[in-house]
Structure formats: structure tokens, C-alpha cells
Chain A
């Protein structure tokens, strides 16, 4: 591993690509959000649009920047980012382009407009500037014709998915003149700096993800009509039950906008005349009518769905009217979808006489049919198709993977039969390769099938992927656990990849922290102190941890064995403290939820390496408790260390973070609130987390790591501090903003964080606050209202306000 690392360092330096500044042309929905994500990643960005006809000439961009602040979920990952987008217009600021290493054009999807803009900007581009067009379907080679010869080697397509901060996929579409080195540099930047999953696509209409994703929607619509399935039932069946987003099919169309969806369909109609499925590329009549009536989906509040008060209505294509919504799929069909064995599931789906089952089989069949038919034309290999759909449309499993898991031969045979029986949406025959008698699938240990070259294509050898120690996998690729197991119990697996760092992963559901995890983590710490240079807590998948495993406390809770629970909490606290004071550096590599006890463990590590999409909070008040694993203590300590004479002032925001269960919505915001330390790395590509975390642990070890000295005495805000906080709380209580129990919990938190019944400025140590924390935790746990909150969370998964 060390050798390999040095090798990487060499290749990296040869290909170093500095992106000092980026320009985005076009401040529409995509342009503005791409700019936002660039500044999220600390890339200074100039956002261009047309000069406004009146008022400030940058008015169009300024309006777009305002819009960014209001969008939900936020395209901005920290509060300062938007200030680093420099507004500009094509009339006054084109000279600024020369300092940009990358220019992304993201104006409206019109060939003539894009061409006109290229003529205008090309003379201003820097000598080495990469010029990329963000388009969802226009021909990149055609667009390249509008670039001067000198620019063409630096031109390509780059297709972000909406919303670009959250959608992992970016398609890079080379044109014939694109320079290979330039494409590699762009890919490095997209993968590491912006954290995206890159798929290189061929220059065919709609590229890979939209070509298939939109086809899948059209096929679903056609099959729904054929089998007479209501739209709300379609959405119930084609969402999470298939491992796809909650918005499923029709809700997705509403969110995208029915007019936009129709536009994409029209593009397919215009650009894919030879596609055997061409007849399908038409907006259904009912859809055209809705658009004509101004029902465009979420943006007009009425689309396929509409809400009236609290009641949801869904459009019924047969009657042309809205009917009461919320109908679910039939239990019999839902039961089939629950079958774990894919082969059996597909067998039953196809065999069932139930129209909903037949509908689902038809949807799968037509997509399988389509992707196999087109694989050779549109993608470099089957893996790219699966990643494109997973990362661009949010499917948990790609279509080729699904087919392969269900048994390639059997499914291929069924599809073939259906085609011959005229049941499929097209009569086009399956390609010969799909029907090969010895074919077990398209994904294998040594690569995925490329239908054009009739060979297997391995993983990209681009250096940037060496940073992904546990990259996204497709079915059929190595599924063995990473590294060599050093220790394992029911709670954790500790392993090494041979670089002197011990990595600990939790095995529990949602990585909740129960006794096994705590025991395992302590054993891992013992081992790390004996034989390793550092310890990294990293999970094989998100979340980092949802916190303490309340379920595991249930038996003691039921029997009122408070002493046992007290001992558990004490053990939790001791583990937090060990993460801080062990003889080796500790690093928490976080992504997804970092809640409660998970947050406390992360706070106690020497460093956090947070994926951008880390959602961090001490959310214990939701179950009527307070952070009992060192969270209150840690904030009290930090406040004392940060206070310049006024501990209470430094403590207040920390108190509010706990009392209101504030959740940071990015790794950066977690540092702003103070869960994580300012300056700790935030990693944009979650697949690079482990690599960066290990580098941090190694760097600390190699810098002569010593655990911090235990703070002997730090000042607390004391009784007066607690009273001042309660002054605010009483106003919230009397003002009906919080309940009596909220007031009680928050008062307990205030008493703990201010150091208990001592005067302001009194010096205490960490154990003093840990003891207060634990006592308050036990007091709350024995309170019936807290018990109601816990019971509600365990039964419904939702917090109870009482």
C-alpha cells in the first residue's frame, strides 16, 4: 500500500491540474446550482448571464443568487458560500474568463443560442481553459463545430443532474476532438473536488442516464395504461418497494415539471427517429391536456397530483378528473416484492395473474429489453448504465444488476418469449449477446460487458480512483469485506489494509451504539494502542451512526434496573473519553446521520473527516433525554476554552444546539455549529472518506502524536449562567413555544452545561460534568414523559412532543 501510494503521488504530480477559478455561463436552475456547488467546494466562481435590461446589469444573476438561498434542499452547504459567487454579465465581464481554468456553459437547451454564445466567449478563454457544456441531450460533436479549432481539444459535454449538490452522477461526454488528458483532468476535478460519480458517455441523444431513465418512465406510463393501474398505485409500487426514490414515477414527473418532462420526450421524438421504441416517445394526450391547463406539477402546485387542504388527489387519466389519492398496491403484489431471492421474486411477478404484478413485470421487461438493445450504441459498458441510473435516478440497484441477480438466462428467455408473443413494447429482437447460452450476466470480477467491443471493461485506472478504497460496486464485483480482519465481535469489525491504521466499522442496524459496539470499540482501541499507529471509525455505508441503541436498553428499562442503565451510560462516557485520550490518534470518518451518541463519539475523536453530506446533531431531546455520552461535557469544555472572559456567552449557542436538537445539514455546517472542529477536512466524495481519514490518522501519528493533556480545571458559567439561560426558557414556556417537559429537559441541560450548583467561574474537570450529565440522564429516563417519548420513537420512529 505504501509503495502504491508513492506511485500515485508521482502520477498525480505529473498531471496536476489547478482549478483556481471557474466560470459558469447561464444563471438558470442548473447554472446557479452548479455555481453553488463549486463555491461549496471552495472554488471561486463567476456566474454569468445576459445583462439585465434595466437596473443593475448583473440583475439576472443577483436574482438567481437570491433564489439559491431559498431553495430546499439547500444547494449551499455553508452560510458564507454564496458570497464567493461573483455575479457577471456577458457585456461587461468577458475579460474575466481568461483567469478561469474551467468554463461550464449551462444556458438553455438551444443549439443556436449555444452556438452564438460560443462565438462570443471563445476569444476570451484562457490558453488552457477547459470549456464544457452542460446539456442533457444536445449533440456535443455538433456543438463543437461552433468552437474555434483552438478550443475544440478542450471542449466536451458535462451533464450534471438536478439538484447537482445531491445527485451523485455527472456524465462526461467527449467529442471526437476532445483531448484525452483534458478529459482526465476534468474527471479528477469532478470526482475529488466536487465529489461526483463520473460516467463517460457516448455522444448519443440524451446520453446514458436520461436515455434510459426517461424511457423507464415512459414505459411505466404505457404499461400503467395497458394494465389499468391508477397513478397513485403505480407510485406506491415503483418507489421504495423497488429500491427507488419515494417520488417513484408520477411524483417525479411533477417534481421535474410536466412541461420539462414533455420537452425531454419531444427531444427523444425528434432525435431518435430510428429507435424501435420511437412510437413511445410521445406525451400522452392526458399529459398534454394537463400542461395546456397550466397544471405543470410542483411549481404550479397542481400536476398529476394536487393537494386540497390536507387531502391528496391524483389525476385519473381514464376519466380526466382528479380522484382521492393515497391508494396502495395490492398486498399480494407487495408480498411478492418483499421476497428476498430475486429469482423467485421475478418468477412470481411474471407468473402472477394480478394486473399489478403483470404491470411490474412488464416495466422491468421493457427496460431490460431497451438497455440490452441499446447498450452497444450508448454506453462503454453495462457498469456505466447501472451507475448512471443509480446515481442519476436514485435507484439502489441498476437495471442490469437487477436482471443479472434474477438469473440472466431465465429472464432473457422470458423477455424473448414476450417479444415473440407481442407483449413487449417493441418487437425488436434481443441482441444476440444477451441470448448467448453461456451468459451468466454482464458484470464479472474482471469487468463489465461492452456490447460494442464484445469484451469486458475493467475499472478506470485514472489515479483519482486510487483514493476510493471502497468504491461503489456493481453486482458481481468483489463483495469480500475490505482489508484483513483484526478483530470482530457482534458489534464491530476492526480491520487493516496493511498501513498501520486500524479501521473500525459498526455492524449494527443504522450503526446504532449498543453494548456490543461499545465493547468492540474498546477492544479495538486496546489493539490499536498495542499494534497500530492510529484508529479510524468508518462505516461501510451511511449512516455514521443514529446514536445509542435504545432498544438494547429496553430489558433493563422494563425491569427498572436503573443501576444497570447507569453503568451502561458510564461505559459510554468512558469510551468517549478513551477516543480522546487513547495513545493513538483517533479519526471519525462520517457520512449521513451522525446523531446522538454517534455525534458524541465523533466529537471525542482527535479529528473528524466528514463527507459533505454529513447530517450532525445531538438530538437526544427528541426522546426526552440529554446527551449522556460526553456531548454536554464537550460543549461546556469547548465554551470554556473559547470564552474570552465570558463563559456563558461562549456557551449559549452550544446550549441551543443541544436544547433544540439542531442538526447540521453538511459537514461544513457541523463545523460552523461546533460539533466538529473548524479546519477538519470535509470530503466531497464519500468514497474517498476512508482514504482521507487514514491519511489524517497517519499524519498525526507521524507528527509524533501524544494524546492531549487532561484539562485540570476549566471555568463554568455556574448558577447565574444557568439562571440566565432559564430566563430565556421561561419566556419560551410562557409564550407557548415549548412544553413544560421541554422546559424541564432544557433546564436540566442548562444545569449540566453550566457546571451545576456552583458559582460562575468555578473551575471543574471533565469528569465533574460527565457525572452531572449522567445523573441528569438518569433523572430524565425515570420521568414518565420522557418514557412516553422513547416509546413513541421506538414504535413509530418519530419524535413525540409532550
Chain B
């Protein structure tokens, strides 16, 4: 058991709107700029907090290279104008990077070695593609048949889950339609307003005739992914992408996206000293490995493990942000654990809202905190996802 000396509380949580990649509204926005933006946005929620007390900033990113390389965390801290004393560390566990940032930040506090830590995630899939700019696989992968799955693309693993768990194309498509429906309803009701820090973006185009640069700015405050026009009939027409004889399509998979999220965690001492309102208490985190060829099933192992660590049952969870990497895996996990579907992704999931890989954990933490509070709910909530090469992660917080 963890030797915890103090509790860690979430006092601020925010995110950017999520843009579509690679040709969406945030295609030119640098991930380090997004990061600085959400750090500033989170701090604006706790204006009384002295930034000098921040000891570190932990940032999740799935492909920390090029525009999001060079330890983006420290660069984001400096671009946000935080004191030089604030540290920065970029961490990577692919899709759970963002929730692991929260976990690492909380653990520094729980251990008593820090009082204020920022946890964040940032990813531009427009600027740094999935798999990164240069893929280089280890030749040993092909030396043994059992290692082949290390090289499997995520979509192929979703096909394997769909086959093994018998998830039909129709069910996957219906799941996707529901994700869009919920996301649109959330947008229309203004449910995301409290969690999104609007982002001003400048689009620059040269006027080749006059020699001038024409700048246009736009304030982005709404997620770009959800589609009002998505229908079962429309999705049924899409071709499979990863398996010629399969069931996984672009329509029932998560979208590639750009976005960032940030959460500020503090100790009880700081909470009292600065008279801050705790939004949630950090509870626990668990990660579990599964065979890489069925990586999507990962949450099935991680969710019970996290609940056990927290000393609760899954029925105690009021709200679950279960990352929809693919409808196939989300359905397989939900069905196997007999999770209550009404509690899962009430505002839609990654199929509609998008999945900026390493940022998703931080972004969905903001959704969980604000979503439960706006709904007047208190109690346990979870952020969970599957992870490439075969893992599942689950983090639990208690919304206050």
C-alpha cells in the first residue's frame, strides 16, 4: 500500500477545444503554444495561487519529437511566463500520458515532496503524425512470431478485439452514432463551456499579388469533431481500413486531433493557505498489461485494479470517461465488465470529440471534473483508456 502523507486536490482543470487533424482548425497551432495556453488558462481559475509555489509541470505527449520535442513541458512553462523555478518534464505512455501526468503530479504531493504541481497533456497530430516522423522498428520483432504484434497498427488490434469479443459492425456503428449524438447535445447545451479555455488562432496567407501577409484571427471555443449529420446509414457505407474483411472503419474509430489540457493539483496545506476551492480529490491510478494484439481490451484489467486500490466497486463510479479509441474495444470492455453505459462518456467520446493521443488523459480529466460538478454530482469518477502495445490505464478521482 501507498504510504501517503497528505491528499492531493485538483483546484483547476481546463482544456483547449479539440481540432481535427491534419487539416482542421488548429492545424498550424504549435503544441507547445497549446500547452502554454492551457497552463495560463488553468492558473486563471486560481488567481490567488502564488505561481512561485509550483514545483513542477508534468506533461503527457505520445510522440514527443519535432514541434513537441525538446522537453516541451519546460518550454511550455517558460512560454506561459511561469517563474524560472518551475520545473518541466515530458512523459510518454502513449494514450495514457495525460492521466499519468495527473498521477505523477498527485504522487509528488501525496509523498509530501511538493505542494503545487501542474499536470497537463498536449498533442498536435497535425504537426507530428501518428507513429512520429521516423518509424524505426527493432529487427528482433520479426525474429519471433510472437513478437509480430508489436508492429500491429492500432486499427488492426481493434479488428482482433472485434473478432475475439464478437463485436458486430452494426453495434460499432451504432455506438459511434451515439457518441456523436451525445457530443452534439453537450455542445448545444453549453456543457463544455466551463472546461474550455477558448483559443485565439491566427491564420496567415500571403497575397502573392500585393506581397502582403493577410492575417485572420478566430477565437476557437468549440470542438471540431462532432458531426450532426452522422447517421447509421452513412456509417454503414464506409469501407474498412485495417482489415479487408473486417468491421473497423474511419467512422467507428476515434478521430485524429489536436488539443491540450491542464490540471492544477495542490496539497491540503496550500488549499487552506490560499483559500482555494477543491474541485476533486485525487484517489488512485492503475496500469495493466495485456497482449499487444488486443491492446484495446486493456481497460478491462485496469478498471477493476484501480477500483480495488481505491477500495470501491465499479458501481461506486458515477461518471466514467472511457476513451473511445475504437468502438470495438470500448464495447468489448463495457460488455465484459458489465459497465453501466449511461455513466460512460455522457458527453460523447473520442469517436466524436477526437483523440489527441497524449493529451486525452488531461483533457478528459477536465471533462470529468466539470461534467460531474455541472451535473451536481459528487463522488467517484474515472478516466480510463487502452494503450498501444497492450496496456490499460485507469485513474480515479473523487469530485467534491
By a beta-carbon cutoff of 8 Å, the part of chain A in contact with chain B is 646, 648-649, 719-724, 726-727, 730-731, 734-737, 760
Distance (whole angstroms) from the CB of B209 to the closest CB of chain A: 15
Given A723-B138, A726-B141; 15 other pairs, CB 8 A cutoff: A649-B134, A721-B136, A723-B139, A724-B135, A726-B137, A727-B135, A730-B148, A731-B242, A734-B243, A735-B159, A735-B242, A735-B243, A736-B244, A736-B246, A737-B244
What total count of A-B pairs have CB within 8 Å?
Answer: 54
A787–B249 CA distance with the chains assembled, in angstroms: 37
- Is residue B151 contacting chain A, with contact meaning CB distance below 8 A? yes
A sample of 11 inter-chain contacts (CB < 8 A) reads A719-B139, A723-B136, A723-B138, A723-B142, A724-B135, A724-B136, A726-B137, A727-B137, A727-B151, A730-B151, A735-B159
Q: Does B152 contact A (CB under 8 A)?
A: yes
Q: Which B residues lie within 8 Å of A720 (CB)? A: 136-139
Query: Digit string of B290-321 for contact with A (CB within 8 Å is 1, else 0)?
Result: 00000000000000000000000000000000
Which listed residue (B134, B141, B159, B243) contacts A723, Cβ 8 A? B141
Q: Which residues of A contact B156 (CB under 8 A)?
A: 731, 734-735
Q: Pick the 4 closest A-B CB pairs, nearest first.
A: A727-B151, A723-B137, A735-B243, A723-B139
B153: interface (CB < 8 Å): yes
Q: From residue 128 to 148 of chain B, which have CB atoms closer than 8 A to chain A?
A: 134-139, 141-142, 148
Main secondary structure of the interface of A (DSSP, over half): helix
Contacts of A731 in B (CB 8 A): 151-153, 156, 242
In the assembled complex, B245 has its CB within 8 A of some CB on chain A: yes
Q: For the complex, would chain B's binding face be called helix, strand, loop or mixed by DSSP majority?
A: loop
- Which A residues are in CB contact (< 8 Å) with B159? 735
B141 is contacted by which of A646, A648, A727, A737 (Cβ under 8 Å)?
A727
The docked-state distance in angstroms from the alpha carbon of A722 to that of B142 is 10
| Contact B152 A730, beta carbon cutoff 8 Å | yes
Cα–Cα, bound, A103→B135 (Å): 52
B142–A726 CB distance below 8 A: yes
- Nearest Cβ on chain B to A757's Cβ, whole angstroms: 9
**Neighbouring B residues of A734 by C-beta, 8 Å:** 148, 152, 156, 243
Q: With both chains docked as a complex, state the minimum distance between the C-beta of B11 and any C-beta of chain A, in angstroms.
A: 44
Binding site for A on B (CB under 8 A): 134-139, 141-142, 148, 151-153, 156, 159, 242-246
Q: Report the Cα distance A722→B151, complex, angstroms.
A: 13
B136 and A726 contacting across the interface, CB-CB below 8 Å: no
Determine the chain A residues whose CB is within 8 A of the CB of B244 once the complex forms: 735-737
Bound Cα distance from A735 to B133, whole angstroms:
24
- A731 and B248 CA atoms in complex are apart in Å by 14
Q: Which residues of B contact A760 (CB under 8 A)?
A: 136
Distance in angstroms between the alpha carbons of A722 and B148 in the assembled complex: 14
Do the beta carbons of B136 and A735 come within 8 Å of each other?
no
Contacts of A730 in B (CB 8 A): 142, 148, 151-152
Give the residue among A648, A724, A760 with the most B Cβ atoms within 10 A.
Answer: A724
Q: Whose C-beta in chain A lies nearest to the C-beta of B131?
A: A727
Inside 8 A of B152's CB, which chain A residues have their CB? 730-731, 734
Which residue on chain B has the smallest CB distance to residue A727?
B151
Q: What is the CA–CA distance of A737 and B152 in the complex, to the nearest angstrom?
A: 14
Alpha-carbon gap, A720 to B136, bound state (A):
6
Cα distance A736–B160 in the bound complex, in angstroms: 12
Cα–Cα, bound, A724→B134 (Å): 10
Report chain B residues within 8 Å CB of A723: 136-139, 141-142
List A contacts of B136 (CB < 8 A). 648, 720-721, 723-724, 760
Q: Which residues of A contact B245 (CB under 8 A)?
A: 736
Name the distance in Å between B113's Cβ and chain A's nearest Cβ.
40
| Chain B nearest CB, measured from A100 CB (Å) | 21
How many angstroms from the CA of A649 to the CA of B137 in the assembled complex?
13
Chain B residues with CB under 8 A of A737: 243-244
In the bound complex, how far is the Cα of B159 from the Cα of A649, in angstroms? 28
- Bound state CA distance, A731 and B159, in angstroms? 11
Closest CB in chain A relative to B165 CB, distance in Å: 17
Please, which residue of chain A has its CB at the minimum distance from the CB of B246? Answer: A735
Please, which residues of chain B bring their CB within 8 A of the CB of A646? 134
A736 to B245 alpha-carbon distance, docked (Å):
7
Among B139, B153, B243, the one with the most A-chain Cβ atoms within 10 Å of its Cβ is B139
The reply to whether B151 and A726 form a contact with Cβ atoms under 8 Å apart is yes
Contact B137 A724 (CB under 8 A): yes
Tell me, rounded to whole Å, the shortest Cβ–Cβ distance linking A298 to chain B: 25
Interfacial chain A residues near B246, Cβ < 8 Å? 735-736
CB distance from A723 to the nearest CB of B (A): 4
**Alpha-carbon separation in the docked complex, A730 to B137 (Å):** 12
Query: In angstroms, how far is the closest chain A Cβ from the Cβ of B247?
Result: 12
Chain A min CB distance to B66 (Å): 13
Query: Chain B's nearest CB lies how many Å from the CB of A411?
Result: 57
**Docked CA distance A734–B160 (Å):** 10
A760 to B138, CA, bound (A): 11
Residues of B with C-beta under 8 A to A648: 134, 136
Please give the distance in Å from A649's CB to the nearest CB on chain B: 7
Chain A residues within 8 Å of B137, by CB: 720, 723-724, 726-727
Give the docked Cα–Cα distance between A730 and B243 (Å): 12
Closest to B141 in A: A723
Bound together, the chains give a CA A736 to CA B248 distance in angstroms of 13
CB distance from A737 to the nearest CB of B (A): 5
**Minimum distance in angstroms from A111 CB to a CB of chain B:** 41
Which residues from chain A contact B139 at a C-beta distance below 8 Å? 719-720, 722-723
Nearest-Cβ distance from residue A417 to partner chain B, whole angstroms? 63
Q: Which residues of A contact B148 (CB under 8 A)?
A: 730, 734
Q: A727-B135, A730-B152 are in contact. Are A736 and B243 (CB under 8 A)?
A: yes
Alpha-carbon separation in the docked complex, A457 to B328 (Å): 76
Chain B neighbourhood of A724, CB < 8 A: 135-137
- Most chain A Cβ neighbours within 10 Å, of B135, B138, B156, B246: B135
Across the interface, which residues of B come within 8 angstroms of A721, CB to CB? Answer: 136
The residue of chain A having its C-beta at the shortest distance from the C-beta of B150 within the complex is A727
Closest residue on chain B to residue A750 by CB atoms: B142
| Complex CA–CA separation, A672 to B159 (angstroms) | 35
B153 neighbours in A (Cβ, 8 Å): 731
Tell me, rounded to whole Å, the shortest Cβ–Cβ distance linking B184 to chain A. 28
A645 to chain B minimum Cβ distance, whole angstroms, is 10
Taken together as a complex, chains A and B put the C-alpha atoms of A313 and B138 apart, in Å, by: 56
Q: Which residues does chain B contribute within 8 Å of A727, judged by CB atoms?
A: 135, 137, 141, 151
Give complex CA distance A760, B245 in Å: 36
Shortest CB–CB separation between residue A740 and chain B, in angstroms?
Answer: 13
Residues of B within 8 A of A722 (CB): 139
Scoring A721, A735, A736, A760 by chain B CB atoms within 10 A of each residue's CB, the highest score goes to: A735
Bound form: Cα–Cα A799–B156 in Å: 28
Chain A: CB-nearest residue to B160: A734
A721 to B139, CA, bound (A): 8
With both chains docked as a complex, state the minimum distance between the C-beta of B306 and any C-beta of chain A, in angstroms.
31
> In the complex the two chains form, what is the Cα distance from A646 to B134 in whole Å?
8
Contacts of A719 in B (CB 8 A): 139
Chain A residues, CB < 8 A from B151? 726-727, 730-731
Q: Which residues of A contact B134 (CB under 8 A)?
A: 646, 648-649
Q: B293: shortest Cβ distance to chain A, in Å? A: 8
Q: B141: which A residues are within 8 A, CB to CB?
A: 723, 726-727
Bound CA–CA A648/B133 (angstroms): 11
Roughly how many angstroms separate A307 CA and B13 CA in the complex, as a whole number?
A: 62
Contacts of A649 on B, CB cut-off 8 Å? 134
Residue in A closest to B151 when the chains form the complex, CB atoms: A727
**CA separation between A462 and B67, bound complex, in Å?**
61
Give the CA-CA distance A727 to B246 in the complex, in Å. 19
* Chain B residues, Cβ within 8 Å of A726: 137, 141-142, 151
Q: How far is the CB of A70 from chain B (nearest CB, A)?
A: 18
Docked complex Cα distance between A724 and B141 (Å): 10
Which residue in chain A gives the minimum CB-CB distance to B248?
A735
Most buried by B among A646, A648, A723: A723
Chain A residues with CB under 8 A of B138: 720, 723
A748 to B137, CA, bound (A): 17
Give chain A nearest CB distance to B23 CB in angstroms.
Answer: 18
**What is the CA–CA distance of A443 and B232 in the complex, to the nearest angstrom?**
68
Q: Looking at the assembled complex, report how far the CB atom of B346 sits from the nearest CB atom of chain A, in whole angstroms.
A: 34
Give Cα A720 to B246, complex, Å: 30
